[in-house]
Amino acid sequence: MRTNRIVLAVAMAVVSGVLLAGCACPVTPPVVPTAEVMAEEDAAPTGEQEATGEAEQPTGGWQANGAISDGEYAHTTTIGDVALWWYNDAEFLYLAMEAPTTGWVAVGLDPEDRMQGANYLFGAVVAGEAMIWDAYGTAPAGNAHPPDEELGGTNDIVAYAGVEEAGVTRFEVQIPLDSGDEFDKPLEAGNTYPVIAAMGASDSFDTHHLSRGAGSLTLD
């Protein structure tokens, strides 16, 4: 009887050895990553950086002085006879406009139907003094862009400067991306907006334009 048990034990050992020899699975338990290892694996690969959401700033530094300096603006375009420069941060739009006139120069942001619904910035140098109006387009055409204050809104221009020299009128202006005024169009970083621009022959901003054009503006 004892001999039978010994034989059975030997046989079972042989069978177990055969099964272990043919198994493809690892015989050591899997290693559980530590918190440090898991953090390293979840990190971005070398060379990748997480976006901060902050717009790149121009290198020149913005100043409201009526002069366009190198690196002051990130973008530029021409709409009709009006040259535009601009950049934005998380809170404000900084814009310059220039036209070959001794009258007014204007830009309308995000119009809905031709002139209607546009947030207008009208600039003119009157008797040597730079003046600017925060206005709103109330109709598709005609003299239909009264100042926001006449409509019950507010003048939300933060800073500006304008010059008239050598037959050219140039303005720089700073406005909020979203003033909260119902007669200003809210602007969002990363979006593209339609823009209209025009210039006039006189300093009275309710006179008819000499020329006009349409284009677009993309914020950072």
CATH class for the domain made up of 75-218:
mainly beta
Own/partner contacts of 133-141, CB < 8 Å, gap of 24 or more, are 133/205, 134/175, 134/184, 135/205, 136/183, 136/184, 137/108, 137/111, 139/115, 140/113, 140/114, 140/115, 140/116, 141/114, 141/115
Residues 6+ apart with CB under 8 A from 166: none
> What are the boundaries of each domain within the chain?
75-218
Q: State the Cα–Cα distance between residues 220 and 215, nearest whole angstrom.
A: 17
Q: State the Cα–Cα distance between residues 142 and 12, nearest whole angstrom.
A: 103
What pTM value is reported for the model? 0.73
Q: What is the pLDDT along the chain (220 residues), one digit of tens a residue?
A: 444 443 333 334 333 433 333 333 333 333 333 333 333 333 333 333 222 233 445 666 899 999 999 999 999 999 999 999 999 999 999 999 999 999 999 999 999 999 999 999 999 999 999 999 999 999 998 888 999 999 999 999 999 999 999 999 999 999 999 999 999 999 999 999 999 999 999 888 777 788 999 999 999 9
